[in-house]
Chain A
Amino acid sequence: MSTVNQVMVEKYRNDFLKEVKANVEEGDWVQMCMQCGVCSGSCPFGPYWEHPPQEIFMMIRAGKRDEVLTSDSMWMCTSCYNCIARCPRELPITHIMHGLAHYADRLGLAPKNQPTRKFAIKFWNNLAKKGRVNELKLGLALYFMNGFVEGIKTALKNQKLGLNMVKTKRMNVMEMVGGHSVKDTGGLHAILKKAREIEEAKAAEFKG
Chain B
Amino acid sequence: MADIIATNETILVVGGGISGMTAAIEAAECGKQVILVEKNPAVGGRVSQLYKYFPKLCHPSCGLEINLRRLKANKNLRLLTMTEVTEVSGEPGNYSVTLKTAPRYVNENCTACGACAEVVDAEFDSEHNYGLSKRKGAYLPNLMAFPQRYVLDPRIIGTPDATKAKEACKYDAIDLDMQEESHTLTVGAIVWATGWKPYDANKIQPYGYDRIANVITSVEFERMMDPHGPTGGKLLRPSDGKEAKDIAFIQCAGSRDRNYLKHCSRICCMASLKQTTYVREQYGDEGKSSVYYIDIRAIDRIDDFYQKVQADETVTFIKSKVAKIEEDKETGNPVLHGVNTEGYHRYATPHDLVVLAIGMEPSVPAGDFPIKVSVNENGFIEQDEANGAIFAAGCSADALDVNRAVQNATASALRAIQVVNQVAGTEG
Contacts and interface: CB of A to CB of B under 8 A. Distances in A.
A134 interface: no
A52 interface: yes
Given A54-B339, A88-B321, A41 B258 contact: no
A12 B362 CA distance: 46
Interface string A10-38: 00000000000000000000000011111
A202 interface: no
B87 interface: no
A62 to B, nearest CB: 14
Contact of B339 (A34, A41, A89): A41
A54 B343 CA distance: 11
A120 B321 CA distance: 32
A55 B344 contact: yes
A55 B337 CA distance: 17
B423 interface: no
A88 B260 CA distance: 8
B173 interface: no
Interface residues of B, number: 20
Interface residues of A, number: 20
B259 interface: yes
Interface string B220-253: 0000000000000000000000000000000010
Contacts of B252: 36, 88
Interface string B339-352: 11100101000000
A86 B324 CA distance: 9
B258 A90 contact: yes
A37 B341 contact: yes
Interface string A58-92: 00000000000000000000000010001111100
B252 to A, nearest CB: 7
B206 interface: yes
Contact of B320 (A37, A46, A82, A86): A37
Given A41-B324, A42-B324, A46-B346, A35 B341 contact: yes
A94 interface: no
Nearest to A85: B259
Contacts of B346: 40-41, 46-47
Contact of A88 (B257, B339, B340): B257
A35 B256 CA distance: 12
B338 interface: yes
B339 A37 contact: yes
Interface string B304-335: 00000000000000011111100000000000
Ranked nearest first, the 3 interchain pairs of A and B with the lowest CB-CB distance are A41-B323, A41-B338, A36-B321
11 contacts: A36-B321, A37-B319, A37-B320, A37-B340, A37-B341, A40-B339, A41-B337, A51-B344, A52-B339, A54-B339, A86-B206
Given A36-B252, A90-B259, 16 more contacts: A35-B294, A35-B319, A37-B319, A37-B338, A37-B340, A38-B321, A38-B323, A40-B323, A40-B339, A41-B323, A41-B324, A41-B338, A42-B323, A86-B206, A88-B252, A88-B258
